[in-house]
Structures are given as structure tokens and as C-alpha cells.
Structure 1
Amino acid sequence: MLPTAKDWLHRLMNEARSAQLDHLDVLINCAALPTPLLPTLLELTPAPSCAWLFEQTPEQELAHQGPVLLRIALASQEQCAEIAKLLNAVHHNFCALILISRWPFAELAAHLRGATQATWSNGACCGVLRYYDTRLFRYFYDQLDSRQQGLFNAPVIQWHWIDHDKKAATLPGFDSRPDNQNTLSGMTMSDEQVSYLQALSAAIQWFKDYEKTPNEHGFTSREAMIRCLITVHLDINRQKLEKQQHEDFIASALSKHLPLTLSRIEPVL
């Protein structure tokens, strides 16, 4: 059974309490919010701790359209009720990445802010890492090498999100103590990692725009189809295909997967 927002949030709050924490951290991708849902939550007294992660970055002018970190006090019925309303409204919109973390809020916010900033090509290129978009999160994380994973994961006991198949997903963190050795001020990526992330974004956009279901192409889940589409878009980039060739190339790649059909059930005599 797919989790409801209420059941999911209740379980995460219990996990935070089991870790002897009095809070739950929620990272919201404001660019994907369907309606303005934050004002009521932020106007509570007391309001949850709040940090706009694009502040103090080159994207500062877009801060309120980017990721925002909220620390919900589990003892506050008002805060818990309002975050429950927000999560219910965006449950399957890929807006919310939940963290269970022991780090002080300021240190956690600074760390996650640093993780949004990437450089590659020996520092010649820079850009934003949209790891806070839960459509991308697991694929982004799996592309990090062990050192990068250790740094990125340092403040987190567990990550939680809703995946492309509307299922609750989780990833364990490293639960390290904050110090100067594991606080991120930016991430250095390889050109190969950036190429993968670009293919990932293209694959997810193509999947979003496409109207057919995964089983029509022989896949048992949306996640499986997206993994295939990432490989297809990487091949497009390697072969340096012109844009007008992309659709035919994707259609040809997907045609190799036979549609899934339900087996006919014979009546019992």
C-alpha cells in the first residue's frame, strides 16, 4: 500500500524521537510548490527555524523560489499540524526531502547550502546542484564517489522522500559530528558526473512530457524506465546527435523493450 502523507509523516516523527531528537528537518523545493503553502507555517508563534539555502550564494535573488530548510519542533502541535497540511498538499509533487539530523540548525543549513554549489572542469565551470529535487536525489547521490558521499552525508542520520512510483524511499546517512573537516562549502564534480546529471535531468523531463506508462515499454516501474532513459540520454551525448535526431533515437531504444501484459487467468473448474 502506498503511504499517505499523514502516515509517512507520523512514521518519520517516530523515527526522530527514536533517535532522541525533538525535531524533524524538512527541505522544501519551493520551485515545485503548486501553491503558496509556506506563509501560514512561517507565521506561527513560535515559527519553525527557517533557512533559504540560496541566500549568500550567486542565486540569492531567487532565494524564495529555491530550497528552504525548516526545523519542525515535535513538541509544537501547531508546527506539526501545519507541516502535515503542507506535506499532504505536495505528497506526490517531489517537493519534500526529509532529514533526520543531530546537527545544530545553523550548521546544518550552512552545510546543505554549500551542497547546492558545484564547480567542475578544474573550476572553469560552476552551477547549482539540485539534489533537493527528490526526482533527482537518489541518482545524484549514487554518482558521488565515497569521499563525496562521506562529506555530503555527514550531518544526516537518514534521508526520506517519495519516489517516482509514489513509494516511501530512504537512504542512511553518516551521522557525523560537525567540524571543519566535514562541513561543505561547495562540491567539486568531475566532468563525467556532470554529464550524468545533465542526462538525468533530460531523462526526467522527457519522462514528464511523455504520456505513455512504463509498462507500455516493458518496465515494471517508473524508476526502472527513468534509469533506462538516463542511459539513452548519455548515449545521445556521447554520439553528439543533433536535436532533431533525439526523438527517433529514444523511440528506437525504447522499442527494444516489449510491453508488459497481464497474464490471462484461467478459470478454476
Structure 2
Amino acid sequence: MTTNAKEWLHHLMGEARSAGIDHLDLLLNGAVLPEALLPPLLALSPAPECQWLLEHTPEQALAHQGPVLLRIALGDQAHIAATAHLFTAVYAQFCVLALISRWPFDKLAVQLRGATQATWNKGASSGVLRYYDTRLFRHFCEQLDPEQLAPFHGPVCRWHWIDHDGKKASLCGLDINPQDHSALTGLTLSAAQVQPLHALSAALQWLKKNDCTPAQHGFTSHEALIRCLTGIHLNLSRQQLEKPQHEAFIASALSEFPPLSLTPKKAAL
């Protein structure tokens, strides 16, 4: 097990136990999860509780390519060992959204399943909301309005993931009693909520295509560069520029951030 993966797993276990919780919930992105990793976990006896979140939704046919929720028993060494193996394999692949939750597993699964279902364009469009993709998770949470925050964050004490810089990241939930919640059946998003998410996706695609480092554009982290690129793509969309103008617009916006020097300057004599 790599040091980073081992430290993260121990950190998550400590967080759960500090909250008086004897399990750890893992929301795995089935679209990028290597096929060989899940069967050993599910073959354990007893096996972790498991739910594919796109089951019982309009996307049920694609359920095993979508998010899967597992509950790992912290008192079961076989569960811990299999989780350690999984963490090592996918540590920096944006595959694991971990959460600390007191909710009964079935109720938690219902709530997280409901959050995968979104409508937008005043109800004219619908589809899967990929909040479980940890490249998108923080940005998605920032778009939620007060009425959406409670049902989404209510079941969770704290969310945890690995960010674009390979560092531990986390966000507080609300830790609300499940009896105070009705089941979440979907989220309705406004244009103002959808546009930043489209901009983020475009920013990530641009970054992958151009394969540049944060320092080349004056940033000290991938997270900061991605946030900047998201703002640039949002402005690009608002100005309704034609596609041939996109690269020039992005290059001009990035030119405002001079590259960072990675070589320490010599002290003056």
C-alpha cells in the first residue's frame, strides 16, 4: 500500500471513530473504477453493504457503469485490507468520494440516489448529475441553493476526497437526523447553477488537451488553475463567441498570469 493511500485510509477511519461511527461509506465512480477491484470486496463474508445508485432510475440499464455505494465495517480486518488495496489502486484517479454518515445504509442510498437525478432548462432537460465525480464535487456543492443543501448534505457528517493536486480534501455535511428528512427524488437546477458546471467540464477538457502545468500559467496548484480556467470558460460562454475564437480568448485571458519561476533567485551580493 502506498504511503499516501495508507495515510488517507487511516485518516478516514480516525474521523469515523471520532464521530462514534463504526463504518466508513465509499461512493465509487463506476465509470473509472477498474473492473477487477470490486469483486474481491463483494466476495468477502460478510460482504460490505452495497447499492448501485443508478438502479431504480431511468438509467438502470447503465447502473454498473455508474456510482456504487459501499459500507465498510471498521471492525472487520478483511474489509479494511480490501479497502486498502482499492485505495492504493485508485488513489489519484478521482474515483473515491468517502463520507462519514450515521444514517442507516438503505436510507443513505436512497438520498444519494435521488441526488443523481437532475432536471434543468425549466424541466425540458434531464439526466444524471455526476456529483460523485470528485473532479466536480466541490464545484457542484458551491452551486447548491439553501433549499438543496439540507437534503444533499443532511445525511453526511463530512465528505472526503483526493483533489487535483493529490491532497486530502474535505467538506462538512449537516449530520441531520434521518427522521427529519423526506426522501430526495431529484434536484432541479437553474441556468445559473448549470452554466458553471458546464464551464468546469470545458476547463477540465481544455487542461487535458493542452497538458500544461500550473506554473506555466502563474499558479501554484492544479486546483487554482482549474478554478481560473472555469471562470474563463464561463466568460467565454457568456460572450457567446464562435468556436474558432475560443482558443484566442483563453490564451489572452491566461496571458494575464505570468509563468512562475521554478529556479530560486540567487541572493544579491
Q: Any conservation in 2 of the 1:164–1:223 contact (CA below 8 Å)? A: yes
Cα offset, 1:147, TM superposition = 2.0
SS of 2:174's partner is: coil
Q: TM-score, normalised by structure 1?
A: 0.95
Cα offset, 1:160, TM superposition = 0.4
Unaligned runs of 5+ residues in structure 2 are: none
Q: Any conservation in 2 of the 1:154–1:182 contact (CA below 8 Å)? A: no
Cα offset, 1:35, TM superposition = 4.8
SS of 1:54's partner is: coil
Q: Deviations over 1:74-102 (max 9, x none)?
A: 11111110011001110000000000000
For residues 175 and 227 of structure 1, the distance between their equivalents in structure 2, rounded to whole angstroms, comes to 28
Q: Deviations over 1:131-172 (max 9, x none)?
A: 100000001101111221122100000000000111100111
Cα offset, 1:240, TM superposition = 1.5
Q: Which residue is 1:264 aligned to? A: 265
Cα offset, 1:207, TM superposition = 1.4
For residues 36 and 243 of structure 2, the distance between their equivalents in structure 1, rounded to whole angstroms, comes to 36
Cα offset, 1:182, TM superposition = 4.5
Q: Is the alpha carbon distance of 1:39 and 1:256 closer, same or farther for their aligned partners in structure 2, counting shifts above 3 Å?
A: same
Alignment of 1:1-269 (within 5 A): 4-179=4-179, 181-262=181-262, 263-266=264-267
Amino acid at match of 2:185: S
Cα offset, 1:3, TM superposition = 6.7
Amino acid at match of 2:38: L
For residues 237 and 78 of structure 1, the distance between their equivalents in structure 2, rounded to whole angstroms, comes to 50
Q: Any conservation in 1 of the 2:111–2:151 contact (CA below 8 Å)? A: no
Q: Any conservation in 2 of the 1:28–1:67 contact (CA below 8 Å)? A: yes
SS of 1:228's partner is: helix
Q: TM-score, normalised by structure 2?
A: 0.95
Q: Is the alpha carbon distance of 1:128 and 1:102 closer, same or farther for their aligned partners in structure 2, counting shifts above 3 Å?
A: same
For residues 166 and 60 of structure 1, the distance between their equivalents in structure 2, rounded to whole angstroms, comes to 32
Unaligned runs of 5+ residues in structure 1 are: none
Cα offset, 1:235, TM superposition = 1.4
Number of aligned positions between the proteins: 267
Bigger Cα displacement from structure 2, 179-188 vs 9-18: 179-188
Q: CA RMSD in A?
A: 1.6
